[in-house]
Amino acid sequence: MLAALVMLKKVPEFADKKFVLPINSMLYKAYWPGAKMMDITFVPVHSPQVRKKHAQYKENMKSRELTLMDRITVPKEDYLDVEASLQRYLEESKKALEAGGIVIVAPQAQGNMDKIDITHQRKAFSKFRNYMAQYPGLDYSVLPIGVSYPRSAAEGRPQKGGHFGEKMRIEIGGCYDREKVTQAVSLAGGNADLWMYWQIASLLPKEAVKRPAQ
């Protein structure tokens, strides 16, 4: 997401736009100093990966499953208010769109992944759409972006984690205004998350996509 955001910021028409980016709350402390420099609003959200690490930390902070970095970055609250973090992200997104800005949505939003998983959709995109549906006068467009490491994908290696020395590929999909998104989702069977997954999957190497069993 950060790579896609940096790329978008380099587009002259986007350079002065307000940007909102959801970020794994374990990474927020590391990245927030760059928010003002890049004129970005980072909103920390508690992904399933964060919630798992948080539970491990609360149960046993010396767990072997927790690295030293985990112990430093895992949120220390007694209770992670997942809904509150999501609502803050959606509210900031609305403000940005009202100002003609750009919002990054993480469709699979489940922490590090080996590949995008068509077989198991999370609700990030549909929640975004449902929230914005409360504001019918708010206009926006959707631009799918696929980010991958083709060499790693071809070799059967995970897409997550660091890829030192390997080029990242960023592919841009078709642009859909709000009405076209509604039409496309309807034609695809009404599952907005699955529709978005397939949009992104079409921009990735086939080896970077987990598809339904034939």
Domain boundaries, the chain: 1-104
Report d(CA 108, CA 118) in Å as an integer: 9
Is beta strand 145-148 parallel, antiparallel or unpaired with respect to 169-172? antiparallel
Interval 134-154 mean pLDDT: 94
Report pLDDT digits (tens) over 164-193.
899 999 999 999 999 999 999 999 999 999
Would you say residue 139 has pLDDT above 60? Answer: yes
Interval 148-159 mean pLDDT: 92
For all residues of the chain together, what is the average pLDDT?
88
Report pLDDT digits (tens) over 98-126.
999 999 998 876 555 688 889 888 889 99
More confident residue, 95 or 71: 95
